[in-house]
């Protein structure tokens, strides 16, 4: 997991000053705050790793039937998208030709396809959980 560059300063001079100050006054609440911030960062990294592991386990637990169902839903959604694109082009052509009634019927069909696509996308999201 690439975290990128740390936004904090980690120069040797600052580290030496920090360690000397902590040795001089270990009960200073500033050091407790640094320790708590450090632990919070570590816990955040551990939580993110745990979340990724759980997601990977869920993917591995799926049966071949569930994987096939997910694949079929994705294929059906892609086919519906192509049909919507084709229907939109047809609507534009009908509009240019002045066939308003026919373009309105085609528009209703496109809206039905969009609704069907949205339903399948919801089902796909539930399959992927």
Which pair of structure tokens corresponds to residue 23? 């040795």
72-121 pLDDT tens trace: 999 999 999 999 999 999 999 998 999 999 999 999 999 999 999 999 99
On whether residue 46 sits in a domain, the answer given is yes
Is the CB of residue 81 less than 8 Å from the CB of residue 124?
no
On whether residue 20 sits in a domain, the answer given is yes
User: Scanning the structure block, which residue is given the tokens 């869920």?
Assistant: 58
| Same-domain check for residues 40 and 77 | no
Is the CB of residue 77 less than 8 Å from the CB of residue 121?
yes
pTM for the whole structure? 0.52
**Alpha-helical segments (H) within 25-99:** 29-61, 64-96
Dihedral sign computed on CA atoms, order 20, 23, 28, 34: positive
| Same-domain check for residues 100 and 74 | yes
On whether residue 86 sits in a domain, the answer given is yes
| Same-domain check for residues 20 and 53 | yes
38-72 pLDDT tens trace: 899 999 999 999 999 998 888 788 788 888 888 99
pLDDT at 10: 80
Dihedral sign computed on CA atoms, order 47, 51, 57, 58: positive
Dihedral sign computed on CA atoms, order 14, 48, 46, 40: positive
On whether residue 30 sits in a domain, the answer given is yes
Q: Which residue range forms the structural domain that includes residue 100?
A: 63-128
The total number of structural domains in the chain stands at 2
């Amino acid at each position: 997991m690439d975290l990128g560059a740390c936004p904090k300063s980690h120069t040797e001079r600052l580290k030496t000053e920090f360690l000397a100050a902590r040795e001089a006054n270990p009960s200073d609440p500033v050091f407790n705050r640094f320790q708590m911030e450090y632990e919070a960062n570590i816990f955040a990294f551990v939580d993110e790793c745990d979340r990724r592991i759980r997601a990977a386990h869920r993917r591995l637990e799926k049966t071949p039937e569930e994987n096939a169902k997910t694949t079929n839903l994705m294929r059906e959604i892609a086919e519906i998208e192509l049909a919507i694109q084709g229907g939109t082009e047809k609507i534009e052509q009908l509009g240019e030709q002045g066939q308003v009634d026919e373009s309105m019927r085609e528009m209703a069909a496109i809206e039905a396809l969009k609704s069907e696509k949205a339903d399948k996308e919801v089902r796909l999201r539930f399959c992927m959980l």
